[in-house]
């Protein structure tokens, strides 16, 4: 794997109000994968209460070690664009304008790379949370990526398209459910679903990684003899998720299942030395996991 380029986003930084200044200092990070190319595109960042990381008392000393002591965290958001010469596949679409003022900045990242929305041939969702899905429609409720085929794991799609989910999901996630339902219903005829372990596109295989959401998917991208794993939110930060993967994460809908998924995934990633692209990992989200005793350390590819 070779990191080829970092594209600075000076123009977007210049016009961003100080109060919502995102932590990213780039629009994209790139790497060559065989004869293909991956770019990670910044959608800005989220601002979340610390409880989204973990309420577990065992988390406190680890967070302190990483300098995370305030009431809020500001995770970056990184989308992945894979181009193999035939397809331009975008993993998740970002938050759009309606979730948080600090997120929904994808257009600036596309502009910096001189990529038109119309160039995107496929949109593949890791899961249905707002920061991954809500950027899918324009002001006219039509697909932002008008030429793209949209794909989502069947379990995930079935969960959010079910009108009952709004009533049954825990109260803190009701807006997530309502927002996903509206968008998926609008696009229902344009969405193709897939199962676990399928080659959904040439060189791209789905891998069910549930817990964060019921049908969360990761994706192994393979070109020639090189590969990388798009992990979405299965590994949701670069500190606690690596230092204590078995600890419950506040952002996981099913914390026990999320922890089980994370433990298994990190074991594989570290053993195979596989590069990952994490949606909320820092500096573009491209890195790998290094084993440290019973736990891991995140190593960025920069
Ligand atoms: Zn997320």
- State pLDDT tens for residues 6-15: 554 433 333 3
Hey, how many other C-beta atoms are within 10 angstroms of the C-beta on 170?
9
Cα(293) to centroid(ligand 1), Å: 28
**Cα 77 to Cα 142, 232, 238, distances in angstroms:** 23, 10, 13
Q: Where does 9-68 show beta strands of DSSP type E?
A: 26-33, 36-45, 48-49
Helices and strands of the chain, counted as H and E runs = 9, 17
Q: What is the pLDDT of residues 232-248, one digit of tens each?
A: 999 999 999 999 999 99
DSSP H or E segment with residue 159? helix 154-161
Distance CA 245, CA 241 (A): 5
Cα(226) to centroid(ligand 1), Å: 26
Q: Is the pLDDT of residue 166 over 70?
A: yes
Q: What is the pLDDT of residue 30?
A: 86
Cα(129) to centroid(ligand 1), Å: 6
**Cα 106 to Cα 54, 57, 65, 72, distances in angstroms:** 28, 36, 32, 23
Q: What is the pLDDT of residue 143?
A: 98
Averaged pLDDT for residues 275-293:
95
Burial 103-126, CB ≥16 within 10 A → b, else e: bbbbebbbebeebebeebbbbbbb
Q: What is the pLDDT of residue 21?
A: 39
Note residues around ion ligand 1 (Cβ under 5 angstroms). 131, 233
Cα(216) to centroid(ligand 1), Å: 11
Task: Give which of 300, 277, 299, 181 is closest to 229, Cα–Cα.
Answer: 277
Q: What is the pLDDT of residues 70-101, one digit of tens each?
A: 899 999 999 999 999 999 999 999 999 999 99
Residue 25 pLDDT grade (very low, low, confident, very high; cuts 50, 70, 90)? very low
Please state the pTM of the whole predicted model.
0.92
Strand partners, 223: 226
Q: What is the pLDDT of residues 101-142, one digit of tens each?
A: 999 999 999 998 899 999 999 999 999 999 999 999 999 999
Q: What is the mean pLDDT of the chain?
A: 91
């Amino acid at each position: 794997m070779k990191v080829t380029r970092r594209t600075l986003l000076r123009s977007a930084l210049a016009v961003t109000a100080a109060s919502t200044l995102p932590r990213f200092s780039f629009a994209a990070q790139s790497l060559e994968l065989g004869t293909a190319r991956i770019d990670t595109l910044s959608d800005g960042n989220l601002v979340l209460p610390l409880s989204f990381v973990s309420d577990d008392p065992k988390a406190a000393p680890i967070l302190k070690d990483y300098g995370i002591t305030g009431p809020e965290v500001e995770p970056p958001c990184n989308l992945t664009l894979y181009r193999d010469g035939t397809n331009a596949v975008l993993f998740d679409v970002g938050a759009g304008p309606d979730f948080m003022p600090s997120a929904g900045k994808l257009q600036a990242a596309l502009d910096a790379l001189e990529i038109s929305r119309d160039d995107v041939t496929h949109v593949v969702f890791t899961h249905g949370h707002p920061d991954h899905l809500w950027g899918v429609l324009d002001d006219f409720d039509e697909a932002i990526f008008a030429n793209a085929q949209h794909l989502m794991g069947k379990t995930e799609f079935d969960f959010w398209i079910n009108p009952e989910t709004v009533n049954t999901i825990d109260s803190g996630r009701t807006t997530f459910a309502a927002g996903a339902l509206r968008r998926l219903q609008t696009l229902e005829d344009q969405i193709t679903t897939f199962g676990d372990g399928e080659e959904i596109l040439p060189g791209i295989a789905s891998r069910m990684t549930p817990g964060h959401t019921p049908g969360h998917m990761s994706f192994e991208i393979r070109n020639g003899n090189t590969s990388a794993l798009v992990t979405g939110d299965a590994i949701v930060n670069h500190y606690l998720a690596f230092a204590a993967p078995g600890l419950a994460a506040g952002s996981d809908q099913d914390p026990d299942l999320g922890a089980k998924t994370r433990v298994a995934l990190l074991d594989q990633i570290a053993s195979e030395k596989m590069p990952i692209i994490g949606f909320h990992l820092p500096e573009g989200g491209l890195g790998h996991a290094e084993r440290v005793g019973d736990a891991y350390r995140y190593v960025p590819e920069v």
